[in-house]
Structure 1
Amino acid sequence: MRQTEKRENRRIEIADHAIRCFAEHGYAETSLRDIAEAAEINLGQLHYYFESKTDLILCTIRRYKTRFVGRLVDAMEQEGATKNRITSFIDLLIVAATRDAKIHRLWYDLRAQALFNPNLRAATSEIERDLENATSILLHLQQPEASRGTIHQTFLLLDAHFFNALQMTLSGEDPEGKRFRRTMRHLLVVAIPNVKK
């Protein structure tokens, strides 16, 4: 295996340790020392793979969000009835808002931090565009002529409901996402007349 490939694989291993630390304690409360301990390396080794905490969190969140967006897109591009594809999309959102709530909580933490850190802002904007593009695919299943403005408004609406679902999960009010599922079904299936039930 080439040296560059080995280095990249090690970066990914460290990023996977980092996501758990960041997800549990938040960006501000997680130190590079915490991550080095979780990855069982020293700080010098950590700095060999990542120049800074910002470099590490950018790698970490891009890796997780890219996989998440990929799963959403795959669900919508599968063969079958539109309703089934939308149901698969909703199922993925439920898992994200319940089982993976702490990881997605980190996403909102970073979006807040990005208001103060331009390096984070560039990355979060890129990921937001990917999420909005996934919303575009979803909406075009239902409304092929949907405008850019409608897509953006739908993205903001879904984002707000997802954030609320995280709050409900983490507070213990809706740990299984039942309320969130009802909301998503109403928004994405019941309220859309051209989705065959």
Structure 2
Amino acid sequence: MTEARERISRRSVDKFAQRRAQLAESALQALSELGYARTSLREIAQKSDFSHGVLHYYFADKVELLTYAVRQFEEVCVTRYDDVVAAANSAEDLKRGFGAAMAGTLRADAVMHRLWYDLRNQSLFEESFRADVLDIDEQREAMVWRVVERYAEFAGVPAKVTPPVAYATFDGLFQRALLQHLAGRDSAAEDLEQSVPRLLELLVCAGAPAV
């Protein structure tokens, strides 16, 4: 009887988690369109197939839903450049692949990146966001550093910056390109794709001949 109850309990937990994931995925669209400040659970419900009551059953409030939804998106995003690193056979391959990958995600996922920056900005005011934001930021930093570290190996020199500096530099470049892209500047993604390789070389080689 005990084992049977445990199996039933595990299935209930699994179903609850699956339902939360489905709801979060549905909510991402509304959140990415309207942003945190202009979105309530009721408005999210109106833009999805789920009622306000259902959302409130699975998530205590908008803060919990937003952090869960963004974390779900970031689980995929924080490995987006790993394939580029794995496929590169030279410093040149890595530079071009990294630039193309950053430009690609700018084009494909602009509204989701906008939501991430919205959440990060909100964490300056909402203490309940901060632990999650800091954790996601650390994962993003590690993702960027894997690229920088591999490029340094190809170049045969140690990187001239620390992981936080490398991340902050690429993140700033990407956020600027995102703003330009959202403002309708057609060249934003292409400019980013061209700037990333130059910045990578600068951060690693710092005046050494191009590799």
Amino acid at match of 2:159: A
- Cα shift at 1:190: 7.6
CA distance in 1, matches of 2:14, 2:96: 38
Unaligned 5+ runs, structure 1: none
- Give the corresponding residue for 1:182: 194
- Cα shift at 1:179: 0.9
TM-score, with structure 2 as normaliser: 0.83
- Cα shift at 1:88: 2.9
Unaligned 5+ runs, structure 2: 1-9
CA distance in 1, matches of 2:29, 2:53: 21
- Give the corresponding residue for 1:3: 12
TM-score, with structure 1 as normaliser: 0.88
1:137 aligns with 2:146: yes
Between the two proteins, the alignment pairs up a number of residues equal to 195
Identity among equivalent positions (%) equals 29
The C-alpha deviation readout for 1:140-180, integer Å capped at 9, x for no partner, is 11225437x52211111101100000011011113561111
- 1:107 aligned to which of 116, 133, 136: 116
Amino acid at match of 1:172: G
Q: 1:1-197 alignment to 2 at 5 Å? A: 2-78=11-87, 80-144=89-153, 145-146=158-159, 150-174=162-186, 177-189=189-201, 192=205, 196=211
Moved more, 41-50 or 106-115: 41-50
CA distance in 1, matches of 2:140, 2:202: 23
Alpha-carbon contact 1:111-1:124 (below 8 Å) kept = yes
- Cα shift at 1:79: 5.9
Moved more, 171-180 or 127-136: 171-180
C-alpha RMSD of matched pairs (Å): 2.3
Partner-residue secondary structure (3-state), 2:78: helix
Alpha-carbon contact 2:119-2:129 (below 8 Å) kept = yes
Moved more, 90-99 or 9-18: 90-99
Alpha-carbon contact 1:139-1:146 (below 8 Å) kept = yes
CA distance in 1, matches of 2:14, 2:209: 48
Alpha-carbon contact 1:76-1:85 (below 8 Å) kept = yes
CA distance in 2, matches of 1:103, 1:175: 20
- Cα shift at 1:97: 1.7
